[in-house]
Every structure is written in structure tokens, then in C-alpha cells.
Amino acid sequence: MSDLLNRLRGRGWRMTAQRRVVAEVLDGDHMHLTADEVHARAAARLPEISRATVYNTLGELVSLGEVLEVSTDRRAKRYDPNAHRPHQHLVCAQCGAIRDVHPAGNPLADLPDAERFGFTISNVEVTYRGICPDCAAA
């Protein structure tokens, strides 16, 4: 559980109360929180923590590859702690709920050479959109 903290320490992170709290919020339950939601949860434990620090820390976690940034809409970015198994996202068009999903096969394989226009492709993002069971029932 504090594997994450250990990895971070191992990478030379100066361990501050603020960083620990942010890392723990993300590691705690695997949701797709916005920066503001992370800030709110962190502030519940460490009331003085500032918005800027949360943004800084999230940015560092992203560039260390410990957390993924997800932009499924044009509202706030969301942070996905599930960075170690490749996956895509399924989003409810109505309530915005997000689920990690694992499509079969490699989505890159679907793009013929003639459609690559000489690009060196490194990454594919797939977003499935639809209505979740809860919204369908309502």
C-alpha cells in the first residue's frame, strides 16, 4: 500500500506532509478524481494544504509515470492512479461516470500503414461513450 511512497522516496522525492497526503489520497481508492477533489480530500487531513501544491504534486506524479492524466471532457482533468496496466476509458455521456476498460487486441494494429502519413505513432487513446446502467434506469 505504501509501495507508492517507497517508490517515490527511492526516486529522490523529498517527503513532505503535503506530498504524502496527496499520494495517499490517490493511492487510497482507485477513482478518477479532479484536482479540486484531490485538494478537498487532502485538505480533510491537512487543512493548510494549498491548491498550488496539489497541482504541483499531481504534475510530478504524472511525469514520474505513477498517475495518468485523463481528459474525457473539456471540464477538469482527472487523475487515474491505475498507471501500471494499460487501459482505456468508458464514459457515461449523461452523468460523467468513468470506468477503466481493457479492449481486446492492440488498437494501434487497426491503423493501416497508408493511414499513418509517415508519423511515428507512440500512443493510442480510446474513449468509449454511452449511457451507464444507472442513467438508463432513471
Q: What whole-number distance in Å separates Cα of residue 67 and Cα of residue 40?
A: 18
Q: What whole-number distance in Å separates Cα of residue 33 and Cα of residue 36?
A: 8
Q: What whole-number distance in Å separates Cα of residue 132 and Cα of residue 138?
A: 10
Using CB distances below 5 to 8 A depending on partner kind, what does residue 56 bind out of DNA, a copy of itself, none? DNA
Q: Which of residues 57-86 bind a copy of itself (CB under 8 A)?
A: 71, 74, 77
Binding region for DNA (CB under 7 A) out of 14-22, 23-31, 110-118, 119-127: 14-22
Q: What whole-number distance in Å separates Cα of residue 52 and Cα of residue 103?
A: 36
- Residue 92 is a binding residue for a copy of itself (CB under 8 A): yes
* Chain contacts with a copy of itself (rule: CB under 8 A): 71, 74, 77, 90, 92-93, 99, 101-105, 107-108, 110-112, 115-133, 136
